Amino acid sequence: MQLGMVGLGRMGANMSRRLVDHGHQVVAFDVNAALVERAAEDGVTGVKSLEDLVAALDPPRATWCMVPAGEPTRSTVDALALALDQGDAIVDGGNSNYKEAQASSARLRERGIAYVDAGVSGGVWGLKNGYCLMVGGDTDAVARLEPLFRDLAPPDGYAHVGPSGAGHYTKMIHNGIEYGMLQAYGEGFALLNAAEEFDLDLHQVAALWNHGSVVRSWLLELAELALAKPAEFAHIRGFVEDSGEGRWTVEEAIRRSVPAPVIAASLFARFSSRDDERFGARIVAALRNQFGGHRFFTEAAAAEEAKDETADAAGIVSAPDQPGEPA
């Protein structure tokens, strides 16, 4: 089957390659010409514009938009729609908001162009293992594109989950669950690491839990891989981004009055990870000093304490700050 792939980032490039490996013809475009050239080495037919991509496909055409959600996806879908004809189809695999998917589907339907929203999970491992596909859209359009979906997915890894918007909604909730699972693993391994008296081998524990434990999972297998290289792990900052789906999931929980405290807390934990000097914590420290006389640290005091810790580690004992205080 033919497919026009727009976007050759980590996901789009690997998906194109997987489809080529399964005998499909993929014509691809990306604004980064170097990515197009690289994809051509894997059997993909590269083109220089969206118009060239559409011209290279036989009607009824199938195109796949695999660019970041938001304005990049909106502008790409609109540009594709101008070049396509009645009976053609656009698959949006960019984790768009499900409400935008519903609006795009209605808008394109007026022009006779099918819009299919596909939630895609699998990350960089999808090339080898296949991608879990959660697809929303009209039955006829989805049925025509099923050969692509089935070859991208592992056995039983594809489902038509409902009408327009259902694919992205399902993927949004999937990612919200992912937030909670990642946070639970992170907190658990932090506690293991804090038990210094046991000198636990965290890689050993991760490997152990992957055999018969009720918390075994693919995420835990990935934790095992990450902890197998402690020198590399030591250089990773605890700065965690969010791509939007977790926020949308929490917003949906509020809108639908469904309690989702774990997902909400995991989202806020990501916000906290980006703030090296949290204003809220400074307020708490100041208030504790005001009502209870509890000491607080200024930047100068924190730097002095860090210097003292360095000296202690070198075997140098610093003098007491005040007479009568232990060193």
List C-alpha distances in Å: 235 to 6, 99, 232, 276, 309.
Answer: 34, 39, 6, 16, 21
- If we measure between CA atoms, which residue out of 67, 50, 68, 35 comes closest to residue 4? 50
- Cα Rg for the chain, rounded, in angstroms? 26
Which residues lie across from 45 on neighbouring strands? 27
pLDDT by residue, tens only, the chain of 327 residues: 999 999 999 899 999 999 999 999 999 999 999 999 999 999 999 999 999 999 999 999 999 999 988 899 999 999 999 999 999 999 999 889 999 999 999 999 999 999 999 999 998 899 999 999 999 999 999 999 999 999 999 999 999 999 999 999 999 999 999 999 999 999 999 999 999 999 999 999 999 999 999 999 999 999 999 999 998 988 888 888 888 899 999 999 999 999 999 999 999 999 888 887 777 777 788 878 888 787 877 766 555 655 555 444 444 333 333 333 333
Residues 6+ away with beta carbon under 8 Å from 135: 116, 117, 118, 119, 142, 149, 158, 159, 160, 161, 167
Please identify which of the residues 71, 110, 146, 178 carries the catalytic annotation. 178
**Phi then psi for 58, rounded to 5 degrees?**
-85, 135
Fold of 2-163: Rossmann fold (3.40.50)
171 is catalytic: yes
pTM, to two decimals: 0.86
User: What is the homologous superfamily of the domain 171-273 according to CATH?
Assistant: N-(1-d-carboxylethyl)-l-norvaline Dehydrogenase; domain 2 (1.10.1040.10)
Please identify which of the residues 37, 48, 110, 171 carries the catalytic annotation. 171
Q: How far apart are the C-alpha atoms of 304 and 45, rounded to whole Å?
A: 61
Cis previous bond, 155, omega within 30 = no
List C-alpha distances in Å: 49 to 10, 39, 67, 70, 242.
Answer: 20, 15, 15, 21, 31
Domain map of the chain by residue range?
Answer: 2-163, 171-273
The H or E element that residue 242 is part of is: none
